[in-house]
Amino acid sequence: MENAATILIVDDDRDIRTLLQDYLETNGYRTHGAADGSAMWKLLDNAKPDLIVLDLNLPGEDGLTLCRKLRAHSTLPVIMLTARSEPLDRILGLEMGADDYLPKPFEPRELLARIRSVLRRSNTAAANNVEKASRIRFSSWVLDLTARHLVNPEGTVIMLSGAEFRLLKVFLEHPNRVLNRDQLLNLTQGRDADPFDRSIDIQISRLRQKLGEDARLPQIIKTVRNGGYVLAGTVAVEPD
């Protein structure tokens, strides 16, 4: 599943950005590049990446500052890059919330291995958090995992079919991550899609109706052209 992930490369060196984007795309990832913090924030809103590769030495706000600000409101995985290899830099990066640290120069395949490892840990942690939860809050809605129903912002209970519940739970286990039809079918039903299988599209349409979404401009479960679907926004779990 990692190979469907979107990676944001934040580095002011255009050659490094291009090299890493080309290499990661060759290995099945979607990528975006940013030269500084300002471009990074814009892409975070629009591209919904699954992981950030963040250079420490950036013009304007440096990578440590950006990582600290990001951690104030997001658990998005971060791998920090730096041209310096002093232990203090690594310690500061990890203390600011980076998930891993890679000194320059490095082999692209080493970064690829780190990305795969961090995404595996992140996905496992997210799934474990949901499994331990009794309720999940998102976009002013609540999914009750015990009663297997939705509660809207006004407190009204919205009933879900078994398929709708499983699909919404999968989206909440992978927030802000693009999932294609094959992945959604595999995660909800344990099988791959055939070329004419539209069951996921139908279930998503029903879910959007129950979430009160505008079919033309959905804000919670969004369609990503040539990619799949993504549940946008912040997800918070409430333990038993």
**Inter-residue contact 64 to 18 (CB < 8 Å):** no
Which domains does the chain show, CATH number per domain?
6-127 (3.40.50.2300), 135-238 (1.10.10.10)
Least Cα distance to 79 among 124, 38, 112, 35 occurs for 112
Query: pLDDT tens digit string along 111-170?
Result: 999 898 888 777 666 666 666 668 898 989 999 988 889 999 999 999 988 888 889 999
Query: pLDDT tens digit string along 187-199?
Result: 887 655 455 557 7
pLDDT at res. 3: 42
Q: Give the mean pLDDT of 159-185.
A: 87
Burial zone of 63 (CB within 10 Å; 0-12 exposed, 13-18 middle, 19+ buried): buried
